[in-house]
Structure 1
């Protein structure tokens, strides 16, 4: 006989029963909010009662349009524990994508932050939002925006009981939903069952995951609308850890202050967040002594960032995942053997996407469909499967036919695997550059360029070439005072030492900012569109540097 169904409710029960006095802290527009798991559990039950009173039933979708704060966190357990499906909506998406997502998900309620109410109102379309029966502003006042019917959160839950009998749910019931960023078409909806979210949470608690413990103070900078803040709020609750939510648009000063004031031990976000914090720390008196681990995801962890945090006594944990993998699939921990390796070797391993998390399986296949060797040189597309990896998209049969191979998810990531099993992404399938019949990793060039101390950001794109099909061009962001001609020569010389000449960018274009997707990743699609008509290849560039002529 199988055990009891794997659902989220026991995580909340345990936090309330064993860690009732542990704090939950949030930075808001009004200041710092703080309360305990005991008080949190009461409010989650009030929220469930309020949704019941509204007529929300098991299987209905409840949307959120919010930043990282305590009231958003209340929906994380209040909604799925009652059997409804929590749908976190990315407020940074274009209006047309928001309209598509709300219509496709058929949300019945949407919770929205006051600072985002105008954004949601601007995206409002009566046809796309036809399913929405109630908008709830997270606060105690109702802003003057064209969203109907509209109420405030505190009034919505105020008269509700703090007692609620959570239903006995099936582990196959849907608990969450998140949409991909849709950089190459319409966003694709990924649904998470109770069991998917339970198993992902359990994996994050292991040392091979993120190793979150009850002694930790956890602060996700990664948005709560992006794959549930990488699952950290669920894992922190399961562990009984103190949680800190940084609120709307935290800048480096806000992040540093919260780390110091609240004793944050583990935090997570994309590389640009940590570049900003390191720059701020270099220019200001900052106490990061409590900080033990920084989880970097969403883009490759630059080696320079790893080394700078090492100098501060802070471990960088590089993690990889996708919306489709709930999201964490690999983490770059050092194996026992690597713990005894030279420091340079350790940094190389830690900058890779890492080792597959226990519970998942992967394979890498070449163009011929055969699995590649684990030698750190051969590369192919990464396929992955496991209990928290989706096997289909919501209402997207055409994508289901191309993006899945039986139980395997085709990730679209082009990777190598070394002898120790460390996965390294060399490119996205859409971003790899084909020159003279051979592949060039744009991501590897980007990481090398960003290792130069003068470079803030860099993206490498392929531009059409009459003879070689495509050639790489580097788009580089530097401070205004930088001598760009000198830096160009330095970058060329640096790259020549490490790569064959046919890999070297045929041009270096200095721009103000690399465009980002709604989840903070470099948007090469936007770069290619923005500079489609530009003459980016240098007149004296060695564009005849083909692989067979190197």
Structure 2
């Protein structure tokens, strides 16, 4: 029996669609080449890894944005039998060091610019011996580095019969959660899991990717496996467009117009900003058919504008690092075709129908399943061939987050009688800003460390562009009156997190509402803050 591995995902496009293209925005401009050339370069990179004795049991870390070299590494690492470990470049220094140490990466593939500068700054604290800079040449640096293109030039492309034997249970991928409470947790994926998830994503019940699509994943390749686009779009033989480092709305619009992009994906903030750019400068979105959004819900007004002004459909999706990303997609069923637009939008605003191959339960605090009536709420549990059942190196987390082979997602949801999931809240009160996680608990602990702060609670409040931003309430000591500027400066010293973590506003209050057990009652606090802004 043939093992379920990534080999067919590489064989199919390079043999059946060799003329199809991959376009990539890099620091040096636009790179444009075919699947045939992609295949040769991946074979060279596999050869280079094998020559350096990287294979089963080794981890290949990546620390970069969305471009063709990162895509090649997505394939070459697991095709060599090694494990690809994507690292979020937007994390704070402390989390980056922890993740690389915990994963024990053997080599890092790093983008030039800020990613390389970060690794250079942390170099003395990292266990890695070698860095591959994903560029034509290595800029001046103190780390032991080789240029990606030099690595390929020195290697011979391996032949079909020279690929290592792969088993479907080999570790092939790794990604860490965003560390909403405590340290980020490692999530591992086997060859078989990646195979199953990419096939799931390709189906009409998933994201329905086929070879006629021109796909531009804006969701970062370092974040939740780029929602599986690198593998699913390649397997489908679709034309691919990668937007490169820190793309701005003008960059995305240029690529959409230049490449006739039909399908793209990213957090809602990206598409709100793109609308504003088109409003101000104009632009042609006529090729675009679909935008997949996740990380947070897109406002209905934004969905309607894309639909009514540009004939572009926005589709909500839900997923987690623990589910390999996409776990549900929202679009009306065929039986709803005759519904008016209002009823359809009510469905499209939800997180949708569970992906093929997955099962779910919605469970109350006592472990009982709740009704699918659109009103009863509970925690969403899921299981399936693409869902993990444990965390890497974290046996302490397993009892809290898993029940047998069920993953306790931490999402509080209700399910309507058509089976559509709607997320109501997060059990951990995590804040999502522009698709990235911010820990309210970590912010609270840092604020309470200030000598003049007695209590602190942080909640997420709605934001026009970022969907949600942190809002802090503090109770100060008698006769103390620290300014907001002083508290923000204190956070800068106390936290090892990027500045976008910091609250947009810190309000001094007389007291913070508490539950009967003495915990902060954030539901009441949110209601109070909402009332303040509605006045």
TM-score bracket for the superposition, by shorter chain length: 0.7 to 0.9
CA contact (8 A) 2:472 2:503 kept: no
Q: CA RMSD in A?
A: 2.7
Alignment of 1:402-441 (within 5 A): 402-431=400-429
- Residues in 2 aligned to 1:432 and 1:64: alpha-carbon distance in whole angstroms: 26
CA deviations over 1:179-200 (Å, ceiling 9, x no partner): 0111211000000100110011
**Residue 191 (structure 2) pairs with residue 191 (structure 1):** no
Q: What runs of 5+ residues in structure 2 fail to find an aligned partner?
A: 432-458, 476-495, 513-525, 531-535
Task: Quickly say closer, same or farther: Cα 1:34–1:536, change in 2 above 3 A.
Answer: farther
Question: In 2, Cα distance between the equivalents of 1:300 and 1:166?
Answer: 43
- Distance across 1 between alignment mates of 2:35 and 2:183: 38
- 2:175 alignment counterpart: 178
Aligned equivalents of 2:377 and 2:394: distance in 1? 29
- The 8 Å contact of residues 474 and 508 in structure 2, kept in 1 or not, is answered as no
CA distance, structure 2, for counterparts of residue 269 and residue 259 of structure 1: 14
* Conservation of the 8 A alpha-carbon contact between 1:181 and 1:518: no
Instruction: Tell me how far 1:463 sits from its aligned partner.
Output: 7.8
Partner Cα separation in structure 2 for residue 313 and residue 536 of structure 1: 49
Aligned to 1:490: none
Q: Distance in 2 between matches of 1:171 and 1:459?
A: 40
d(CA) in 2 for partners of 1:425, 1:519 = 27
The Cα shift of 1:72 comes to 0.7
Instruction: Tell me the residue number matched to 1:41.
Output: 39
Give yes or no for contact 1:267–1:295 (8 Å, CA) kept in 2: yes
1:138 aligns with 2:131: no
Residues 353 and 420 of structure 2 are in contact (CA less than 8 Å); yes or no, is this contact kept in structure 1? Answer: yes
Corresponding position of 1:60: 58
Task: Give the structure 1 partner of residue 200 of structure 2.
Answer: 203
Q: Counterparts in 2 of 1:349-428, with a 5 A limit? A: 349-428=347-426
**2:215 aligned to which of 215, 218, 227:** 218
Which residue is 2:68 aligned to?
70
Q: Deviations over 1:89-122 (max 9, x none)?
A: 1111111111111111111110111112111111
SS at match of 1:340: coil
User: Any idea what the Cα deviations from partners look like across 1:52-96, whole Å, max 9, x if unmatched?
Assistant: 111212121000111100011110111101100000111111111
Shift of residue 431, structure 1, vs aligned partner: 2.1
Alignment-derived partner of residue 15 in structure 1: 13
- Is 1:120 the counterpart of 2:135? The answer is no
Cα–Cα, structure 1 residues 69 and 518, in superposed 2: closer, same or farther, change >3 Å? farther
Identify which range, 132-141 or 260-269, moves more after superposition. Answer: 132-141
2:328 aligned with 1:330:
yes
Give the TM-score normalised by structure 2: 0.83
**Is contact 1:188-1:396 (8 Å) kept?**
yes
- Matched residue, 2:48: 50
**Structure 1's 62 and 101: CA in aligned 2 closer, same or farther, altered over 3 A?**
same
C-alpha contact 1:6 1:198 (8 A) present in aligned 2: yes
Shift, 1:167, TM fit: 2.1
Q: Distance in 2 between matches of 1:119 and 1:462?
A: 28
Could you tell me how far apart the structure 2 residues matched to 1:261 and 1:153 are? 27
Report the counterpart of residue 31 of structure 1 in structure 2.
29
Distance verdict in 2 for CA 1:15–1:159, change over 3 Å: same
TM-score (norm 1): 0.80
Shift of residue 269, structure 1, vs aligned partner: 0.3
Equivalences, count: 467
Are residues 68 and 532 of structure 1, via their aligned partners in 2, closer, same or farther at CA, if it must alter by over 3 Å?
same
> Which residue is equivalent to 1:509?
none
2:192 and 2:425 map into 1 onto residues whose CA distance is 31
Q: 1:124 to 1:532 in 2, by over 3 A?
A: farther
1:160 corresponds in structure 2 to 155
Q: Cα offset for 1:458?
A: 5.1
Shift of 1:323: 0.4
CA drift of 1:465 comes to 12
In the superposition, relative to structure 1, how do residues 542 and 400 fare at CA in structure 2: closer, same or farther (>3 Å)? closer
Partner of 1:531: 506
2:296–2:467: 8 Å Cα contact kept in structure 1?
A: no
Q: 1:295-314 counterparts in 2 under 5 A?
A: 295-311=292-308, 312-314=310-312
Report whether the alignment pairs 1:265 with 2:288: no
Q: CA deviation at 1:387?
A: 0.5
- Secondary structure of 2:272's match? helix
Once the two structures are TM-superposed, the CA of residue 533 in structure 1 deviates from its matched residue by 4.4
Q: Of 234, 255, 258, which aligns to 2:252? A: 255
Q: Which 5+ residue runs of structure 1 have no aligned equivalent? A: 434-441, 467-516, 546-550
CA contact (8 A) 1:65 1:225 kept: yes
Alpha-carbon distance in structure 1 between the residues aligned to 2:61 and 2:315: 31
User: Which portions of structure 1, spanning 4 or more consecutive aligned residues, are displaced by more than 6 angstroms?
Assistant: 460-466, 517-520
Give 1:285's aligned residue: 282
User: Matched residue of 1:215: which SS?
Assistant: coil
Equivalent residue of 2:337, what SS? helix
Inter-partner Cα distance in structure 1 for 2:15 and 2:253: 32
Alpha-carbon distance in 1 for matches of 2:51, 2:184: 32
